[in-house]
Homo-oligomer: A and B are copies of this chain.
Amino acid sequence: MEEGMSGFSNKSGSFFGKIGSTGTKCGRWNPTTEQLKLLTELFRSGLRTPSTDQIQKISDQLSFYGKIESKNVFYWFQNHKARERQKRHKVSFDDKYDNSKENTIDDSTQSLTGMYKVPEVDRVTETLQLFPLNSFDESESEKFRVHSNECRDNMMFSYTMGGQVEHPPLDLRLSFL
């Protein structure tokens, strides 16, 4: 890979400079929670290896929440996918019986072979089925039952499928101190 896609600027010579995001201090991209949320959601909905233009769109969208480049999106998916797999490998000592191609943990929705070609049919996630794929690693059905038990812990930001809720404004001015 490399210049196969959007022509990422290789080399780490990359730009530097401060991030306008959240007063972040970094040299490398670090996703804001919003970006991460979106990316995660995409991943969850089955997107694993976005095509170049998908990457472009995603990146474009996310750029609204903070600085981001397409290569970041690209890497993110690469890494996320890989690590999801590796993690699975670690914890799953079950499928020892290799099926030659054991990595079938995902891509349940579409054949990965055809969707990364910018087939113009990349609307795979148009409506996004919230509960697609084999949510092997999440099984949140449990988490959402906030009725029976007294969930003693506070959930973080909503993972409310239907309505994502963004935190309220809440002035960042340290007036409360």
Chain A interface residues toward B at CB < 8 A = 12-24, 32-34, 36-38, 40-42, 44-45, 47, 54, 57-58, 61, 63-67, 79-80, 83-84, 87, 122-128, 130-135, 137-138, 140-141, 143-144, 146-177
Contact = CB atoms under 8 A, between A and B. Distances in A.
A174 B130 CA distance: 11
Copies of this chain held together in the complex: 2
Main SS at interface, chain A = loop
A159 B19 contact: yes
Contact of A67 (B32, B156, B166, B170): B156
A45, A84, A155 interface centre (most CB from chain B within 10 Å): A155
Contact of A170 (B12, B125, B152, B166): B166
A32 to B, nearest CB: 4
